[in-house]
Every structure is written in structure tokens, then in C-alpha cells.
Amino acid sequence: MKYGLHGKLVTTGGNGDKLANILLKASALVSTAKGCHLYLGSKDQAEENTVWITEVWDTKVDHDNSLSVQGVRELIAQAMPILDGMPQKGQELLVLGGAGLNANQ
């Protein structure tokens, strides 16, 4: 089974697009990291300051190691000042499978 993470990030007023752009840059960096199957950023249509991140990795260790990818820490440093408080702990998921993903690999 694969490791999944789904998290909600809320920004201070008017910074939803800025955070979304930072997370898209992060996506480009971690897309080649070992074990990364999905790093998806989504804007909440009802809450302009909310961005959702959905990730699928081979293992939690692969996810944790992605924080060491060159440039990721710098993007985190850019995102932190525009967040409305500390990020909530993401929802950890056991990925069962789905379109485009073979969870048994």
C-alpha cells in the first residue's frame, strides 16, 4: 500500500494565489523525488485563502525525505509568513488505488 497525505493550508487575506504558486513550484521540485506518485495543489472554490495539497508516495519515509530536495526548504520559508497560523496536521491516508495508480506496485 502507498502512503497518502491530504492537507489544508489557509493563508492570510489575499494570499491564496501566492501560496498556490509556491506549492506548484514545490510540486515541480518533488515530482522527481524517490517514491513520488502525486503532488497535487488545489484552490478551494469556496474559500479564496485556502489551498489543498494531496500527495501519494511509495512510503512515509519517501515523503519525509522529499523535504530534503534542493529548494524545498526555501519554498517552505516563503510560505510560512503568509499562512494564517501554523499548518494543521495533514490527514494521513493508506492509498488503496485508483485511476492511474497501481497501489500494489
- pLDDT tens digits, 80-97: 999 998 877 789 988 988
CB atoms within 10 A of CB 77: 10
21: containing domain: 2-95
CATH (domain of 75): 3.30.70.100
Please indicate, yes or no, if residue 104 is contained in any of the structural domains: no
In the predicted model, what is the mean pLDDT of residues 28-56? 94
pLDDT at 97: 81
- Please give the model's pTM, rounded to 2 decimal places: 0.86
Asked whether the beta carbons of 84 and 11 are under 8 A apart, the reply is: yes
Please indicate, yes or no, if residue 25 is contained in any of the structural domains: yes
Please indicate, yes or no, if residue 86 is contained in any of the structural domains: yes
Residue among 31, 30, 9, 12 nearest 20 (CA):
9
Please indicate, yes or no, if residue 100 is contained in any of the structural domains: no
Please indicate, yes or no, if residue 102 is contained in any of the structural domains: no
pLDDT at residue 103 is higher than 50: no
Please indicate, yes or no, if residue 105 is contained in any of the structural domains: no
Q: What domain count does the chain have? A: 1
pLDDT at residue 24 is higher than 60: yes
